[in-house]
Amino acid sequence: MTTIPGIGPNVRTDTTDLDLERLQVAARAVLDWLDRDGGTGLSAVRIDEITRHARILAEAVARATPFAATRAHALTVRNELIVLATEQSLTFAVWFDDALGLGALRGAAVTEDPAELRG
């Protein structure tokens, strides 16, 4: 990896009320999808993991939830959706990408939050 002096990170490290609302819409859609389809073909552990993090996002209160925690929950849900690799799960993953500002990383699992990386 190379760095170019004077160029900052290309991922926002702040969150706005709109970002949180977008994450909540995506999280609620995922929860509805899992409830409706019952997570067909998924292990109970995977369903619990996705549900737990999505529920935390869906219930988050603006400014009361730390930004890093919000991103961590969102990235967990997003990565799980990508691993599922169904048309619906990938659609939801894109919603998370948009809300998190991860356009350049679309479709790839994020193992380290780009907002946390400092060069």
Query: Could you tell me the pTM of the whole model?
Result: 0.73
Q: List per-residue pLDDT tens for the chain, 119 residues long.
A: 445 556 554 555 556 778 889 999 999 999 999 998 867 777 888 889 999 999 999 988 766 666 778 889 999 999 999 888 888 888 999 999 888 887 655 555 565 655 555 44
Sign of CA dihedral 83, 87, 89, 95: positive
Q: Give the residue among 66, 60, 65, 1 at the shortest CA–CA distance from 27.
A: 60
